[in-house]
Copies of this chain bind each other. A is one copy, B any other.
Amino acid sequence: MNNYHTLDEMVTASTAAFETMSKIPDKNRAMLLRDMASEIEAIGDELLEMASIESNLPVVRFQGERARTCGQLRMFADLIEEGSWLDVQIDTAIPDRMPLPKPDLRSYKVPIGPILVFGASNFPLAYSTAGGDTASAIAAGCPVICKMHPAHPKTSSMVASAIQKALAKNLFPSACFIHFEAADFAEVKALVQHPGIQGVGFTGSVTGGMSIYEYARERQQPIPVFTEMGSVNPVILLPHGLASSTEVWVDNYAGAITMGVGQFCTNPGLMFGIESGVLHDFMDSLADKISKAKAHKMLHEGIYANYEKRKEEVLHSRGVITLSRVQATRDMSGSPTLAKVSSAHFRENPRLHEEVFGPFSLIVVCTGIDDLRDSLSLLNGQLTLTIIAGDNDEQEIEVLRSGLVNKAGRLIFNGVPTGVEVCNAMVHGGPFPATTDSRFTAVGNNAIYRWVRPVSFQNWPNKLLPPALQNENDGNIWRNVNGKLTKEALT
């Protein structure tokens, strides 16, 4: 599996690394994250080529993905250097308060311990070995045990070696990042249930994510388990929005549905329109574009087999009409496919509400805005929801508003759900089954909060406090002092 002989040995090493990491200043972790990025870049084109070979995706895709991966690592470096993420809260003492003195209380965030990371097959760089989960966990001060995804073992190993170089260069214990090839599901289960593991990050299918989650549920000690699973990413096509720029939306959605062979967690798998001439024009044009799109090889045999199976299941469901040309499929190529169904048939068949992972979308034809709202309400939680609207659709938006907010982590207006910006305001998460904990995001700066908890210090002498909590505020960070945000030192 790696240079550890047993799972116990591996977790013990990770726990020891956690102890050591806890004593290293934050700024050293920032340097480590930057060196992780540099070492990944230093591998050169060989990495992109290997990722392409292992994923059947073009090399150019990995130029972008590498930039995203390294950008993420550097973003977290900036975040921990800036320091406000520590969420420092200070309430100073009032010794003469009646009837009891008020103590001095100061809290900040500390890392929770070894994190187990399961990367996704569809982003061999950005959501895998050195992806968002690893970057945010290391940034928080947690060591990572990363289960290598079997779909890209060589890419994963190359990235793991780069991380080891960065650890060595910055004098961090090698066990701050452990790359692990699971022999079987039993090993995965044993690891998820190991008492030393203090958190789990997963990106992938509902089936995979729920297995991990079920393993974790059997633990004696509950731990944070953040699994980012499937999503159908519904798109709502409001009449004026569609009418005002039909061709723009046809182009955008033909792209969003087929890009990366549809293998994105934010792929638009369901679209809801209201019966009208403009909807039919849109469907006709989109079907035409989708029919002309080329079938490309999917990530691996399992994903291809599942795509074919789920696609056929949906296409053969009562009331579903295939709109795009049926292409012969072979050699693991996922053929782009568009279909439609009436809201009545859609409502009665929950299998149509679920993801078909691949270049597939189903358009639900509704009779009006109330029918659309009610059809939408049957769906499970989602990563994203998108509205295509025009100036005169405001009333419809108000009808839908609470249904939208309660259903998804990110609401897109006149755009496509694909493309997950790495920034402060990104929420890549959402109500179950989009994730197992909707209170957190898997992408962006705030992903770090999955792996930390608050600790409060009561009446400690200034010099014995952690530096971020000391009066001086030498790090010049934003702190909430007696209810006011300030960077000022306490006097």
Complex contact B413–A461 (CB within 8 A):
yes
Tallying the copies of this chain within the complex gives 2
Q: Give every chain B residue within 8 A of A84 (Cβ-Cβ).
A: 485
Q: Is A23 an interface residue (CB 8 A)?
A: yes
Contact with B along A400-425 (1 / 0, CB 8 A): 00100110111111110001010111
Complex contact A464–B410 (CB within 8 A):
no
Q: Give every chain B residue within 8 A of A4 (Cβ-Cβ).
A: none
User: Given known contacts A84-B485, A100-B419, A107-B426, what 5 new A-B pairs fall within 8 Å (CB)?
Assistant: A22-B405, A411-B456, A413-B461, A431-B453, A439-B453
Interchain CA distance A412-B201 in the complex, whole Å:
33
Q: Give every chain B residue within 8 A of A402 (Cβ-Cβ).
A: 19, 22-23
> Could you say which of A175-183, A216-224, A231-239, A334-342 contacts chain B?
A216-224
Complex contact B105–A222 (CB within 8 A):
no
Interchain CA distance A436-B406 in the complex, whole Å:
25
Complex contact A456–B405 (CB within 8 A):
no
| 12 A-B pairs (CB sep. < 8 Å) | A19-B402, A91-B423, A91-B426, A105-B426, A107-B426, A221-B432, A394-B464, A410-B458, A415-B458, A424-B483, A426-B456, A427-B454
Query: In residues 66-96 of chain A, which contact B (Cβ within 8 Å)?
Result: 82, 84, 89-91
Interchain CA distance A150-B331 in the complex, whole Å:
66
A402 CB to closest chain B CB (Å) equals 5
Q: Give every chain B residue within 8 A of A99 (Cβ-Cβ).
A: 64
Complex contact B91–A459 (CB within 8 A):
no
Q: Is A372 an interface residue (CB 8 A)?
A: no
**Could you say which of B427, B457, B485 contacts A485, with CB atoms under 8 Å apart?**
B485
Complex contact A446–B89 (CB within 8 A):
yes
A213 CB to closest chain B CB (Å) equals 7
Binding site for B on A (CB under 8 A): 19, 22-23, 64, 82, 84, 89-91, 99-100, 102-103, 105-107, 110, 112-113, 213, 217, 221-222, 224, 394, 397, 402, 405-406, 408-415, 419, 421, 423-427, 429, 431-433, 436-441, 446, 449, 452-461, 464, 478, 480, 483, 485
A69 CB to closest chain B CB (Å) equals 16
- Given the known inter-chain contacts A402-B23, A423-B91, please indicate yes or no for A410 contacting B456, CB distance below 8 A: yes
Complex contact B485–A437 (CB within 8 A):
no
Complex contact A456–B485 (CB within 8 A):
no
Q: Give every chain B residue within 8 A of A480 (Cβ-Cβ).
A: 424
- Given the known inter-chain contacts A402-B22, A421-B105, please indicate yes or no for A453 contacting B426, CB distance below 8 A: no
Interchain CA distance A107-B428 in the complex, whole Å:
11
Nearest 7 A-B pairs (CB), nearest first? Answer: A427-B456, A105-B425, A89-B425, A91-B423, A89-B424, A413-B460, A438-B453
